[in-house]
Structure formats: C-alpha cells, structure tokens
Amino acid sequence: NELVVYVVVNNDMDELELNNVVSKYVGERKPEYMIPSFVIKLDAIPLNVNGKVDKRALPAVDRDKFRAEYVAPRTEAEKTVVGIFKKIFDQENVGIHDDFVRLGGDSLTAIRFLSYLESFNFSAANILKLRTPEAIAKFIERDDEFDLDVYSIKEGCPLNEPQLNVYLDVIANNKFDSYHIPFRRNIDKELDVDRICQALNTMLDVHPILGMCIDDSKDVPYLVKGSKPEISIDHNADDERIDNFFTKPFDLYDSLSRFLIVETDDECQLFGVFHHLIFDALSNEVFKQDLESILNGDGVDVDDSFLKVSAFTQQIQNSQEYESAGKFYGSMLADSDDAGVLLKSVSSDGEGMMEFDLDLNLDLFKSFLSKTTVNESVVFTAVFAYTLSRFIGDDKVLFNITDNGRDRFNNYGAIGMFVNTLPILVDCKNHNISDFMNYMSGLIYDVMRYDYYPFRLLASEYDIDSSIIFQFLPDWVSVDEDDEKIYFDDEDLLRAADSINDLTANVVQNGN
C-alpha cells in the first residue's frame, strides 16, 4: 500500500507542485516512511451523513497525472540510473524527475535496483530517500571522493570494522581457539585427489583473502599475504582427527584457513575451517558454489572486494556521512540508560541460541505483507521488540540486529567478513499495529543506512552487549540436512539482501 494524502488548499498550485512541496516539507520533519507517495488536491473533503470522512468517495490515484514532465538524462550517471529504472519498472519513457515510489517502487524493488548498480557507498535506504534518477545520480557521482583502489593483495589492507571487532575480541579476551567457521562437502569419488587439490589452489587464487593473515606491526592491524594454507590428505581419519582439525587454534600471523581431504574406499570428503576474520556465514555458500564451478571446469572471477571495503572503511571516517551517522546513533541511543535489555542472567545457560518454528498460514501472512509497506524481517523484528518490551516491562528496549554487509557493495559473490552488528533502540509505547510497523520500517532502514559506524564505539559509550542479537531466518532459505549448510539461489539472494539480518549466521554446523 501507499500513503495518499488528500488536502484542501486555498491557492492555484497544481497537484504535481503540491506533491513536491508537501513531500519536501514532511521529509524535513518526519521519517521516510511517513512521506506521502501522492498528494491529491480536493475542493472539499467528502463527508457522509454522520459528518465523518467518506473514504469511499475519495478519488483514486491517477498515476499518470503525477508523472513529472519528461527531462532526458544528461550525464552518464543519470543515463545509468534511468536505464535501471526502465528495467525494473518495465517502462520506456522515464525521465530524471520521475519518482521511484510513485512508479511503484518499494524496498524489494530497491534491492533489485542495487543488483544493476556498480556503485559503492550506496544502499536501499538511499534509493528510498533520494527517489529520482537526478538525485540518485548526484549521490552516485559523489563516490568519486572515495578511492577504492588504494590497496592491493601485495601490500595488504587495514581490517574493516567487522574484522576489527573480531580481532580486538580475540586479543583482549584470549579467544585464539574461537571464531572457527567449518566447511564440509562430499566430493564425487570419480574426482581424484590431485584434481581436488588443484581446485583448492585455484580457489586460493580467485579468493586471495583465504591466504591472508594478520600484521599488527603497522599503526592499525592489517590483512597481508600469509603462508599458503595447509591442504592435508588423510585416508584413515577418525572422529578425533577431524575434531582436532576443526578446533586447532589458528596462528593469526601465519594463516587463517586450512583444508583436509579424507578419502576412503566408500567416500571422499573435503573439510575446511576458516577464521571469522576472513570468513562469514554467507562466505560458506560462496565457497561451495565457486569450488563446484571450478571442479566443473567453469571460470570464476577474481574477488578482491575486501580491499575495496577496507578502503571505504578508512575513508568514510573523514566524511560528512560519518558525522551524520554519529549524530543519528547519538540521538537514537540518548535514552539507552532508560531502555530495557535482556540480560544474560535470564538464561540458565548464560548464553546460547533459541530457535522458534512458527506455525503460520504462509498464504495469509504473504497476503498481509502485500497490503503493507514492510517486509517479513521488519514484521518479526517488530514482534520481537514488542515481546521483549512486554517481557521486561519497559516501553523502550535495546538489542542488536545484523546485516550481511553486502548490500552497500553489492558483493554477494565475495568471501570475507562483512557482517555488521547494529544496535537498535525501539519505543513500543502507544502505537497501533500499522503505525508500529511503519515506525519499525523507518527505524531499521535508518540503522542500515549507517551500518558502517563502528559498533565497538557505540558499545563502549552506551554499554551495549554485543551478544544480545535478534535474527530472522526466512522460510525461503533451504537447509541441506546432509551437509548442514544453508543455500539459496540468485533470485532468493536479492530477497535475502533486503533482510536486516545476516541470513546464515544462525546456522549451527558440525556441532559448533
């Protein structure tokens, strides 16, 4: 659904101009979700016999009347954005002043837009805020202030924010045997061991981050080329051998990944273990897909996006956007002392993960979503916030959400550690359901927009516990019970990207 405003005005302003004036006025004072899609001018508000607004008598929206006067794209950036608008809305006559929302765009459409756009420092929230090709193009052109090619494999790069959070936790709390992410895959017995080793070596070439290690001799910790990851072959590996392979601590300053090929008369299995500094849960799926492509003789592009993410991380800190992010979090978390939190002591186990399978009528639920402006993730995050509020007995609640860190850079085929932890403070007081969902949608998109702001700084200043995280695991993600891994296809990836959650972070593999 779209927000339509009906107004009576005492001037000759036409509806298109009125739309722009009202949208600008509301946009400067209210969250994005409260900006109307259409403003319709009336001579008088229709009333029924009881003196109340007769909603059925209100005129329907004539979209064509609200199309801006056509202005052709002038710059290369405008031509690119207009071209994407034409694709996602299946329209030919798109000008630089056409409005993304008025053309029918929503959060999922914004994710489709990103899939066509080769631009960094850009997110779905930016699209929903800027809305016109002209404004989006101007924002994209500002990317020139970021030089994303300043680092190389040879020289290495500083840790990005998610990596730095892991590194500091390892060093401060002596967690050298933690943060291991396992991988297991059954291999076709027809493939000989040499072929598998060759494929792994190719993987190390196309995903050079797998061969990196830590260098702390510089002003800030760096990822640099380390020793070649170990590839072991064993014909008689027992459970203890495999357990030791997974749990053996990494030398952070030598290598952050290793592999074990176990070949018996009956089967061949490939085991891998990666440190979280270079690997997140979504990387597991990328690794599997690219390895299978290489084994099948297909080419895989070299992935150096972790270098670009590092460059962005360093340079954004000197930008106006970074300052705006600090102000946003400062404003949102100003009342964090008064917010309720879920303490570790609530659980008898101290910490852990609790999963719920919800017995929902999916058709009914999807019908509900189709009539709203929110997605599944917003709904369940809102439900969690409200439930937490009632459980704790506090109108305001503070917890963390995550995103997979790939939206801004459109690097869904990348291996690395990109997952961001994002604090969110929710006020659950005095909302009806519709207003609460819209409020949550706006709040979540604002948090996502500033996902680059260091969580460690916020955690320190506002005493936020990073272990209290809510994540939503959607029904479109499939689990292969034999491999204990999550997988999804390309179309689902676009939907997954719209989620505020790192969709695979909750998967428990091999008992770890």
Decide: helix, strand or coil at residue 115: helix
- Output the pLDDT for position 365: 74
Q: Which CATH number fits domain 4-66: 3.40.50.300, 1.10.357.10, 3.30.300.30, 3.50.50.60?
A: 3.30.300.30
Architecture of domain 76-145: Orthogonal Bundle (1.10)
Helix axis angle for 76-89 and 107-116, nearest 10°, is 130
Distance from C-alpha of 381 to C-alpha of 216, rounded to nearest angstrom: 38
Please give the radius of gyration of the chain, using alpha carbons only, rounded to the nearest integer. 25
Distance from C-alpha of 188 to C-alpha of 186, rounded to nearest angstrom: 7
CATH number of 157-305: 3.30.559.10
Helix (H) or strand (E) holding 309: helix 305-316
- Output the pLDDT for position 280: 92
Domain 318-497 falls under CATH 1.50.10.20: no
- Parallel, antiparallel or unpaired: strands 257-263 and 230-234: parallel
The answer to whether 76-145 and 318-497 have equal CATH topology is no
Given a contact cutoff of 8 angstroms between Cβ atoms, the answer to whether 14 and 67 are in contact is no
- Output the pLDDT for position 342: 59
pTM for this model (two decimals): 0.71
Cα torsion 354, 360, 364, 366 to 10°: value is 30
- Per DSSP, the chain holds a count of helices (H) and strands (E) of 16, 13
Give the number of C-alpha atoms closer than 13 A to the C-alpha of residue 302, restricted to the C-beta side: 6
The full set of domain ranges for the chain reads 4-66, 76-145, 157-305, 318-497
Decide: helix, strand or coil at residue 268: strand
Each residue's pLDDT, cut to its tens digit, for the chain (512 residues) gives 578 889 988 877 877 778 778 877 887 677 666 778 788 888 899 988 888 889 889 988 877 776 777 889 998 889 999 999 999 888 888 999 888 877 878 777 787 787 777 655 677 777 877 888 998 888 877 655 678 889 999 999 999 999 999 999 899 888 888 899 999 998 887 888 899 999 999 999 999 999 999 999 999 999 999 999 999 999 888 889 999 999 999 999 999 999 999 988 778 899 999 999 999 988 999 999 999 999 999 989 999 999 999 999 999 998 888 998 999 999 999 878 877 775 544 444 445 556 666 666 777 777 777 666 667 788 888 888 988 888 888 889 999 998 888 877 778 889 999 999 999 999 988 777 777 887 888 788 788 888 899 999 998 888 887 777 887 765 444 434 444 333 334 444 334 333 323 323 332 222 22
